[in-house]
Amino acid sequence: MPELPDVEVFRRRLVEATTDRRIEGVDVLDGEVLATTRAELDRALAGSRVSGTRRHGKQLYVGLGDGPPLRLHFGMTGYLTTVADHDEPPRHTRVVLALSRGRRLLLVDQRKLGEVGLVDSADDDVAQRGLGPDALDLDLAGLREVLARSRGALKPTLMDQGRIAGLGNIYSDEVLFQARLDPRAPAAEVSRGEAQRLHRQLRRVLERAVEGGVRDFPRGWLLHRRDDGARCPRCGGPVERFTAAGRHGFRCPACQSREG
DNA sequence: GGCAATGTTAGCCG
DNA sequence: TCGGCTAACATTGC
Protein backbone atom coordinates (compact mmCIF):
# COMPACT_ATOMS: atom_id res chain seq x y z
CA MET A 1 0.00 0.00 0.00
CA PRO A 2 2.38 2.74 1.05
CA GLU A 3 3.72 4.87 -1.75
CA LEU A 4 3.54 8.66 -1.85
CA PRO A 5 -0.27 8.96 -2.10
CA ASP A 6 -0.87 6.44 0.67
CA VAL A 7 1.61 8.14 2.99
CA GLU A 8 -0.03 11.50 2.26
CA VAL A 9 -3.39 10.01 3.21
CA PHE A 10 -1.86 8.67 6.43
CA ARG A 11 -0.40 12.11 7.15
CA ARG A 12 -3.81 13.72 6.83
CA ARG A 13 -5.33 11.01 8.97
CA LEU A 14 -2.73 11.65 11.67
CA VAL A 15 -3.32 15.40 11.57
CA GLU A 16 -7.05 14.88 11.83
CA ALA A 17 -6.68 12.46 14.74
CA THR A 18 -4.21 14.54 16.76
CA THR A 19 -5.72 18.00 16.30
CA ASP A 20 -6.76 19.26 19.76
CA ARG A 21 -5.63 16.03 21.33
CA ARG A 22 -2.64 15.22 23.49
CA ILE A 23 -0.60 12.04 23.16
CA GLU A 24 -1.09 10.42 26.53
CA GLY A 25 1.07 7.38 26.08
CA VAL A 26 2.64 4.84 23.75
CA ASP A 27 2.08 1.13 23.75
CA VAL A 28 4.56 -0.89 21.69
CA LEU A 29 3.02 -4.27 20.93
CA ASP A 30 5.92 -5.40 18.76
CA GLY A 31 9.32 -3.77 19.18
CA GLU A 32 10.62 -5.05 15.84
CA VAL A 33 9.33 -1.97 14.06
CA LEU A 34 11.20 0.37 16.41
CA ALA A 35 14.30 2.19 15.22
CA THR A 36 14.73 3.60 18.71
CA THR A 37 14.36 2.32 22.26
CA ARG A 38 10.99 2.11 23.93
CA ALA A 39 12.21 4.46 26.64
CA GLU A 40 13.25 7.15 24.17
CA LEU A 41 10.02 6.82 22.24
CA ASP A 42 8.06 7.09 25.43
CA ARG A 43 10.02 10.14 26.55
CA ALA A 44 9.48 11.88 23.22
CA LEU A 45 5.78 11.09 22.91
CA ALA A 46 4.12 10.80 26.27
CA GLY A 47 2.40 14.04 27.21
CA SER A 48 3.33 15.80 23.97
CA ARG A 49 1.28 17.34 21.18
CA VAL A 50 1.79 17.17 17.44
CA SER A 51 3.19 20.52 16.36
CA GLY A 52 3.47 19.83 12.64
CA THR A 53 3.88 17.14 10.04
CA ARG A 54 5.91 16.73 6.90
CA ARG A 55 5.98 14.06 4.24
CA HIS A 56 8.92 13.53 1.94
CA GLY A 57 8.41 10.73 -0.53
CA LYS A 58 7.34 7.75 1.53
CA GLN A 59 8.70 9.14 4.82
CA LEU A 60 6.41 10.80 7.33
CA TYR A 61 7.84 13.15 9.97
CA VAL A 62 5.84 14.25 12.97
CA GLY A 63 6.95 17.32 14.90
CA LEU A 64 6.46 17.10 18.69
CA GLY A 65 7.15 20.60 19.92
CA ASP A 66 10.59 20.82 21.52
CA GLY A 67 11.38 17.14 21.25
CA PRO A 68 12.92 15.27 18.33
CA PRO A 69 10.56 14.60 15.41
CA LEU A 70 9.10 11.16 14.98
CA ARG A 71 9.80 9.35 11.74
CA LEU A 72 7.34 6.84 10.32
CA HIS A 73 7.99 4.57 7.39
CA PHE A 74 5.46 1.99 6.33
CA GLY A 75 7.44 -0.67 4.49
CA MET A 76 5.26 -2.75 2.22
CA THR A 77 2.27 -3.40 4.42
CA GLY A 78 2.13 -0.64 7.03
CA TYR A 79 -0.66 1.86 7.57
CA LEU A 80 -2.04 4.32 10.10
CA THR A 81 -5.57 4.12 11.36
CA THR A 82 -7.57 5.24 14.35
CA VAL A 83 -9.96 3.46 16.67
CA ALA A 84 -12.05 4.52 19.62
CA ASP A 85 -10.84 3.53 23.06
CA HIS A 86 -13.30 0.70 23.43
CA ASP A 87 -12.63 -0.82 20.00
CA GLU A 88 -10.35 -3.76 19.40
CA PRO A 89 -7.25 -2.82 17.36
CA PRO A 90 -6.84 -4.79 14.12
CA ARG A 91 -4.56 -7.77 13.79
CA HIS A 92 -0.86 -6.83 13.26
CA THR A 93 -1.14 -3.60 15.23
CA ARG A 94 2.44 -2.83 16.28
CA VAL A 95 2.33 0.57 17.99
CA VAL A 96 -0.57 2.28 19.72
CA LEU A 97 -0.64 5.99 20.55
CA ALA A 98 -3.22 6.71 23.20
CA LEU A 99 -4.74 10.14 22.53
CA SER A 100 -6.83 12.26 24.80
CA ARG A 101 -10.62 12.22 24.55
CA GLY A 102 -10.96 8.54 23.83
CA ARG A 103 -9.10 7.84 20.64
CA ARG A 104 -6.11 5.80 19.64
CA LEU A 105 -3.83 6.11 16.63
CA LEU A 106 -2.46 2.78 15.43
CA LEU A 107 0.47 1.70 13.33
CA VAL A 108 -0.52 -1.59 11.76
CA ASP A 109 2.11 -3.51 9.80
CA GLN A 110 1.67 -7.13 8.86
CA ARG A 111 5.14 -7.76 7.55
CA LYS A 112 6.98 -5.52 10.00
CA LEU A 113 9.12 -3.93 7.33
CA GLY A 114 8.02 -0.51 8.51
CA GLU A 115 9.95 1.64 10.97
CA VAL A 116 9.21 4.03 13.79
CA GLY A 117 12.05 6.16 15.05
CA LEU A 118 13.22 9.56 16.21
CA VAL A 119 15.38 11.89 14.14
CA ASP A 120 17.28 15.11 14.81
CA SER A 121 15.37 16.92 12.10
CA ALA A 122 13.36 16.02 9.03
CA ASP A 123 15.77 17.89 6.76
CA ASP A 124 18.79 16.09 8.15
CA ASP A 125 17.09 12.74 7.84
CA VAL A 126 16.09 13.34 4.22
CA ALA A 127 19.68 14.33 3.45
CA GLN A 128 21.12 11.38 5.35
CA ARG A 129 18.96 8.95 3.46
CA GLY A 130 20.03 10.56 0.22
CA LEU A 131 16.46 11.04 -0.94
CA GLY A 132 15.77 12.93 -4.14
CA PRO A 133 13.14 15.64 -4.36
CA ASP A 134 9.60 14.67 -3.47
CA ALA A 135 7.79 13.56 -6.62
CA LEU A 136 5.21 16.33 -6.25
CA ASP A 137 7.90 19.00 -5.89
CA LEU A 138 9.60 18.03 -9.11
CA ASP A 139 9.09 20.45 -11.99
CA LEU A 140 9.47 19.56 -15.66
CA ALA A 141 13.07 20.77 -15.82
CA GLY A 142 13.92 18.70 -12.75
CA LEU A 143 12.33 15.62 -14.23
CA ARG A 144 14.17 16.07 -17.51
CA GLU A 145 17.42 16.34 -15.61
CA VAL A 146 16.71 13.14 -13.72
CA LEU A 147 15.93 11.33 -16.97
CA ALA A 148 18.98 12.66 -18.77
CA ARG A 149 21.30 11.61 -15.97
CA SER A 150 19.97 8.07 -15.75
CA ARG A 151 21.58 5.25 -17.65
CA GLY A 152 18.85 2.81 -16.73
CA ALA A 153 15.31 2.11 -17.85
CA LEU A 154 12.35 4.37 -17.11
CA LYS A 155 10.63 2.33 -14.42
CA PRO A 156 13.68 1.74 -12.22
CA THR A 157 14.63 5.39 -12.64
CA LEU A 158 11.23 6.56 -11.42
CA MET A 159 11.39 4.13 -8.50
CA ASP A 160 14.88 5.15 -7.40
CA GLN A 161 14.27 7.09 -4.17
CA GLY A 162 17.61 8.84 -4.55
CA ARG A 163 16.43 10.42 -7.79
CA ILE A 164 12.75 10.98 -7.07
CA ALA A 165 11.17 10.24 -3.70
CA GLY A 166 7.73 8.70 -3.50
CA LEU A 167 7.06 6.36 -6.40
CA GLY A 168 7.01 2.61 -5.88
CA ASN A 169 6.11 -0.41 -7.93
CA ILE A 170 2.41 0.35 -8.39
CA TYR A 171 2.47 4.05 -9.12
CA SER A 172 5.49 3.90 -11.40
CA ASP A 173 3.50 1.46 -13.54
CA GLU A 174 0.43 3.68 -13.43
CA VAL A 175 2.28 6.87 -14.32
CA LEU A 176 4.05 5.20 -17.24
CA PHE A 177 0.80 3.67 -18.48
CA GLN A 178 -1.01 7.02 -18.35
CA ALA A 179 1.92 8.68 -20.11
CA ARG A 180 1.97 5.83 -22.67
CA LEU A 181 5.67 5.14 -22.19
CA ASP A 182 7.47 1.81 -22.19
CA PRO A 183 8.75 1.10 -18.66
CA ARG A 184 11.82 -0.60 -20.11
CA ALA A 185 12.84 2.15 -22.50
CA PRO A 186 16.07 3.93 -21.58
CA ALA A 187 15.25 6.98 -19.48
CA ALA A 188 17.85 9.11 -21.21
CA GLU A 189 16.19 8.59 -24.59
CA VAL A 190 12.84 10.12 -23.61
CA SER A 191 12.02 13.02 -25.90
CA ARG A 192 10.99 16.48 -24.79
CA GLY A 193 7.35 15.80 -25.59
CA GLU A 194 7.41 12.46 -23.81
CA ALA A 195 8.99 14.03 -20.74
CA GLN A 196 6.21 16.61 -20.74
CA ARG A 197 3.60 13.85 -20.88
CA LEU A 198 5.38 11.98 -18.10
CA HIS A 199 5.55 15.04 -15.90
CA ARG A 200 1.88 15.85 -16.42
CA GLN A 201 0.78 12.28 -15.64
CA LEU A 202 3.11 12.01 -12.67
CA ARG A 203 1.30 14.90 -11.03
CA ARG A 204 -2.15 13.88 -12.22
CA VAL A 205 -1.88 10.27 -11.05
CA LEU A 206 -0.42 11.11 -7.65
CA GLU A 207 -2.85 13.93 -6.94
CA ARG A 208 -5.81 11.90 -8.04
CA ALA A 209 -4.66 8.97 -5.92
CA VAL A 210 -4.44 11.20 -2.84
CA GLU A 211 -7.96 12.44 -3.54
CA GLY A 212 -9.16 8.87 -3.95
CA GLY A 213 -7.99 8.19 -0.42
CA VAL A 214 -9.24 4.71 0.22
CA ARG A 215 -8.81 2.93 -3.07
CA ASP A 216 -11.25 4.92 -5.14
CA PHE A 217 -9.45 5.17 -8.46
CA PRO A 218 -10.60 5.97 -11.99
CA ARG A 219 -11.70 3.07 -14.15
CA GLY A 220 -9.14 3.91 -16.79
CA TRP A 221 -6.27 3.04 -14.47
CA LEU A 222 -4.00 0.07 -14.95
CA LEU A 223 -4.00 -0.37 -11.17
CA HIS A 224 -7.10 -2.51 -11.44
CA ARG A 225 -5.55 -4.83 -14.00
CA ARG A 226 -2.47 -6.24 -12.33
CA ASP A 227 -2.90 -9.69 -13.85
CA ASP A 228 -1.11 -11.26 -16.76
CA GLY A 229 -3.57 -11.22 -19.66
CA ALA A 230 -6.02 -8.74 -18.11
CA ARG A 231 -7.64 -6.28 -20.54
CA CYS A 232 -5.99 -2.92 -21.03
CA PRO A 233 -8.47 -0.22 -19.93
CA ARG A 234 -7.43 1.91 -22.89
CA CYS A 235 -7.27 -0.42 -25.92
CA GLY A 236 -8.72 -3.67 -24.61
CA GLY A 237 -5.60 -5.63 -25.53
CA PRO A 238 -3.86 -7.97 -23.11
CA VAL A 239 -1.82 -6.52 -20.27
CA GLU A 240 1.63 -8.06 -19.97
CA ARG A 241 3.77 -8.82 -16.97
CA PHE A 242 7.43 -7.90 -17.17
CA THR A 243 10.46 -7.67 -14.92
CA ALA A 244 12.63 -4.61 -14.49
CA ALA A 245 15.32 -4.11 -11.86
CA GLY A 246 14.13 -7.18 -10.03
CA ARG A 247 10.51 -6.06 -9.64
CA HIS A 248 7.45 -7.27 -11.47
CA GLY A 249 5.50 -4.68 -13.35
CA PHE A 250 2.57 -4.58 -15.75
CA ARG A 251 2.21 -2.74 -19.01
CA CYS A 252 0.14 -2.68 -22.14
CA PRO A 253 2.47 -3.53 -25.01
CA ALA A 254 0.17 -1.88 -27.53
CA CYS A 255 -0.29 1.44 -25.73
CA GLN A 256 3.20 1.67 -24.27
CA SER A 257 5.25 0.84 -27.33
CA ARG A 258 8.75 2.12 -27.72
CA GLU A 259 7.89 4.48 -30.54
CA GLY A 260 5.12 5.98 -28.39
C1' DG B 1 4.37 -26.60 -0.25
C1' DG B 2 5.74 -22.87 -3.46
C1' DC B 3 5.50 -18.38 -4.79
C1' DA B 4 4.68 -13.59 -4.76
C1' DA B 5 3.44 -9.32 -2.33
C1' DT B 6 2.58 -1.43 -2.80
C1' DG B 7 9.93 -1.33 0.43
C1' DT B 8 14.77 -0.99 1.56
C1' DT B 9 19.45 -2.34 1.64
C1' DA B 10 23.84 -5.02 1.34
C1' DG B 11 26.68 -7.62 -1.51
C1' DC B 12 27.98 -9.37 -5.94
C1' DC B 13 28.82 -9.01 -10.86
C1' DG B 14 29.51 -7.04 -15.41
C1' DT C 1 30.84 4.65 -10.96
C1' DC C 2 26.63 2.72 -12.29
C1' DG C 3 22.89 -0.41 -12.87
C1' DG C 4 20.92 -4.86 -12.53
C1' DC C 5 20.25 -9.00 -9.87
C1' DT C 6 19.67 -11.70 -5.54
C1' DA C 7 18.90 -12.37 -0.88
C1' DA C 8 17.15 -10.97 3.41
C1' DC C 9 13.84 -9.01 6.53
C1' DA C 10 8.49 -11.38 8.43
C1' DT C 11 3.99 -12.73 7.30
C1' DT C 12 0.04 -14.05 4.77
C1' DG C 13 -2.83 -15.70 1.07
C1' DC C 14 -3.52 -17.82 -3.38
Q: Distance (Å) from CA A235 to C1' B4?
A: 28
pLDDT band, very low/low/confident/very high, at A257 (cuts 50, 70, 90): confident
CATH number, domain at A215? 1.10.8.50
- Compute the average pLDDT of residues A46-51: 97
**Nearest nucleotide, CA A1 to C1':** B6
Domain annotation covers residue A259? no
Domain annotation covers residue A114? yes
Q: Is A215 a catalytic residue?
A: no
Residues 6+ apart with CB under 8 A from A47: A22, A23, A24
Domain annotation covers residue A258? no
pLDDT of residue A146: 95
Closest residue to C9 (CA to C1') is A113
pLDDT(A179) > 80: yes
- Compute the average pLDDT of residues A142-156: 93
Q: Which domain holds residue A206?
A: 135-251
Domain annotation covers residue A35? yes
Q: Which of A137, A131, A189 is nearest to A160 (CA)?
A: A131
- Compute the average pLDDT of residues A17-36: 95
- Compute the average pLDDT of residues A52-65: 96
Domain annotation covers residue A142? yes
Domain annotation covers residue A148? yes
pLDDT of residue A59: 96
Domain annotation covers residue A217? yes
Q: Which of A36, A93, A90, A95 is nearest to A67 (CA)?
A: A36
Task: From A80, A103, A128, give the residue that closes a domain.
Answer: A128
Q: Distance (Å) from CA A178 to C1' C1?
A: 33
pLDDT band, very low/low/confident/very high, at A258 (cuts 50, 70, 90): low
> Which among A5, A8, A11, A58 is annotated as catalytic?
A58
Q: Distance (Å) from CA A135 to C1' C5?
A: 26
Domain count within chain A: 2
Q: Are residues A141 and A238 in the same domain?
A: yes
Among A20-24, A119-123, A159-163, A255-259, the range scoring the smallest mean pLDDT is A255-259
pLDDT(A214) > 70: no
pLDDT band, very low/low/confident/very high, at A260 (cuts 50, 70, 90): very low
Q: Are residues A65 and A163 in the same domain?
A: no
- Compute the average pLDDT of residues A184-191: 93
> Which among A24, A144, A247, A253 is annotated as catalytic?
A247
**Nearest nucleotide, CA A244 to C1':** C4
Q: Distance (Å) from CA A249 to C1' C10?
A: 23
In whole angstroms, what is the distance from residue A117 CA to residue A131 CA? 17
pLDDT of residue A225: 87
Q: Are residues A247 and A177 in the same domain?
A: yes
- Compute the average pLDDT of residues A15-36: 95
Q: Is A240 a catalytic residue?
A: no
Task: From A128, A158, A183, give the residue that closes a domain.
Answer: A128
Task: From A70, A105, A128, give the residue that closes a domain.
Answer: A128
The fraction of chain A above a pLDDT of 90, given in percent, is 87
Residues 6+ apart with CB under 8 A from A116: A33, A34, A35, A36, A41, A70, A71, A72, A73, A94, A95, A107
Q: Are residues A87 and A141 in the same domain?
A: no
